[in-house]
A and B are shown apart, each in its own frame.
Chain A
Amino acid sequence: MSTVREKSNDAMLHPELRAEDDPDAIIRDGRRLDHAEGASKALRARPEPQPRGAKVHGNRPIDQAEAAARFIAAPEHEKMHDERLWDLRQKRDREMHGIPEWEELRSLASAIKEHTLTHLDEYLDQFEANARSNGIHVHWARDGAEHNQIVHGILRDHGAKLLIKSKSMLTEECGFRPYMASVGIEVIETDLGERIQQLDNEDPSHVVVPAVHKLRTDVAEVFARTLGTDPGNSDVHYLAEAQRKATHPLILNADAGMTGCNFAVAETGTFVVCTNEGNADLSANVPKLHIASAGIEKIIPRLDHLAVFVRLLSRSALGSPITQ
């Protein structure tokens, strides 16, 4: 049935959107296996320009409907985005079906969060005490501005001028990078998607996959402009390698590293950073100084609870059974 649908699927598509036949494609169960991005073909001589993000209008912070209309008006981007996110959903569902106790885990995770959020004061204090006894310095920030000032103070005390960091939505919300730029500290994002967005001076469009709205031709354009790659080459391996080479010396020379925090365990005073690309390991371990930004909602009471969340996390977020 799926094979039949695949055929009629193409028949329903606007001719402009139909991907060319690819002799190298891996076909399984009648479906091409490539990632949606890999499956997207250059369909015209000039790549479709990427629609830019939402505009800010007066007291209406983000005109999302207008931005969505512009994105939908770009058929190659819209199609790629739709397929890519549906692909994530399907992968997530496949992982879900591999775990018989999945719904039990979700209910348990929900109950743990609810309990923790109604006892935040106790667990935050417990975490702080245990973290301090592990040799971690704990700072409390009331808002984004205070967060940025605290981090700046730590960097200043260490004479740090170059900071590498992994993806953190908390720091996005704090306006961390613009603040650091204003005080003369260079910040290098090490997550590939986040790095693309940083180089393109654009906010992430998704919390897990920050550059999910970009075609590889968009990335080729950004890297050509910022890293000096060949603008006509949108091969994903070429682009990833160019970025790796450009960023590597910056990582090795960084004065400090920064990560987010996925879980902070109160009973042990430890925190957990999950990373898919291994880049958070570099941010955490290569420089002498590691700063982790954590929202207070990241607390979980016990190490046992971590097992529940870690089983759910990457399966739900990326449809992958494992992450680092």
Chain B
Amino acid sequence: MRIGLFIPCYIDAFFPEVGIATLELLERFGHDVEYPHDQTCCGQPMANSGFNAEAAGTEALFVRNFSGFDYVVAPSGSCVHHVRDNFDAIEQTGVVKVVRARTYELVEFLHDIVKVEAFPWARFPHRVGLHNSCGTLRRLKHARPSELHEPFFSKPMDLLSKVEGIEFVQPSRPDECCGFGGTFSVFEEVVSTKMGYDKVRDHAQAGAEYIVSADSSCLMHQQGCAERIGVPMKFIHIAEILNGVSA
């Protein structure tokens, strides 16, 4: 398959290792992965803050960069949710609709499209707490949110369970938001950081060495919170574990 690699702007700027792991991982499964060099932010921060019309330029550019691929894959739930479900600042031409429908978040791509059976190169002998970003959990339906009376499933946990040596710990409030919430962390700074402190403490109390997530933005926030209150916690994107990072 010919895949367009969509690396969200903050991953490009702050967590290049997550982008590299995503590329390597997709290539391990034999895909032809291309990184369009003109890509920028997808426009999510503008649209989420009520400046939808101002996101039109980035949306048009996104479609120009990513049309013609079999799939567009990104290691970020919120960006994929924006492209797939809210990308309406531009005219919905046939090309726009196709690009939107073909855009996948990494975990769902591996789980639902590639249907990965094994990660023979991956070994992670650590206790990890899984952080489901609220948006990825509920909008992309990565897993069953705890407030619903439905059968349990978890795509990230399915994938991570195939990694040798990994051990999961369960925080007491598994689905509670970490407080990042994009611009929420700016406008509601005190609530945001308090939620982050509570989140990393909850994982620490459950015995986690690492918090793993499909969303680097949540990890970035929690890492800052953990450092401030001195909780000794490590943070890692799911792509790095699945790609066999040696920790």
Contact = CB atoms under 8 A, between A and B. Distances in A.
Contacts of B205: 5, 8-9, 12
A68 B150 contact: no
B92 interface: no
A93 B146 contact: yes
Q: Which size bracket describes the interface of A in this complex?
A: 20 to 34
Contacts of A9: 172, 205
A65 B146 contact: no
Interface string B72-94: 00000000000000000000000
A12 B231 CA distance: 10
Contact of A65 (B149, B190, B194): B190
Nearest to A89: B147
B206 interface: yes
Nearest to A96: B149
Nearest to B206: A5
Nearest to B197: A72
A187 B39 CA distance: 62
A287 B189 CA distance: 49
Contacts of A72: 190-191, 194
Nearest to A7: B205
Nearest to B190: A69
Interface in B184-213: 187-191, 194, 198, 201, 204-206
Contacts of B146: 93
Given A12-B205, A78-B194, A86-B173, A103 B187 contact: no
Nearest to B191: A68
A313 B161 CA distance: 38
Contacts of A69: 189-191
A99 interface: yes
A14 B150 CA distance: 37
B113 interface: no
Contacts of B189: 65, 69
B170 to A, nearest CB: 8
A64 B189 CA distance: 11
A97 interface: yes
A65 B147 contact: no
A82 interface: yes
Nearest to A100: B149
Contact of B201 (A12, A68, A96): A12
A97 to B, nearest CB: 6
B149 A102 contact: yes
B204 A12 contact: yes
A89 B177 CA distance: 14
Of B170, B194, B201, most A-chain CB atoms within 10 Å: B194
B188 A103 contact: no
B190 A103 contact: no
B149 A103 contact: yes
Nearest to B171: A5
A96 B144 CA distance: 15
Nearest to B176: A86
Contacts of A1: 170
Contact of A68 (B149, B170, B190, B206): B190
Interface string A64-100: 1100110010000010001000100100010011011
Contacts of A64: 188
A141 B173 CA distance: 44
Contact of A103 (B150, B172, B191, B198): B150
B231 to A, nearest CB: 9
B148 interface: yes
Interface string A10-30: 001000000000000000000
B196 to A, nearest CB: 12
A257 B241 CA distance: 64
Of A5, A9, A82, A86, most B-chain CB atoms within 10 Å: A5
Contacts of A93: 146-147
A97 B149 contact: yes
Given A65-B187, A65-B189, 11 more contacts: A1-B170, A5-B206, A9-B172, A9-B205, A12-B205, A65-B191, A72-B194, A78-B194, A82-B198, A86-B173, A96-B147
Give 6 nearest A-B pairs by CB, closest first.
A69-B190, A102-B149, A68-B191, A8-B205, A96-B149, A72-B194
Interface of B: 146-150, 170, 172-173, 187-191, 194, 198, 201, 204-206
26 contacts: A5-B172, A5-B205, A12-B201, A12-B204, A12-B205, A64-B188, A65-B187, A65-B189, A65-B190, A68-B188, A68-B190, A68-B191, A69-B189, A69-B190, A69-B191, A72-B190, A78-B194, A86-B173, A93-B147, A96-B147, A96-B149, A97-B149, A99-B149, A103-B148, A103-B149, A103-B150
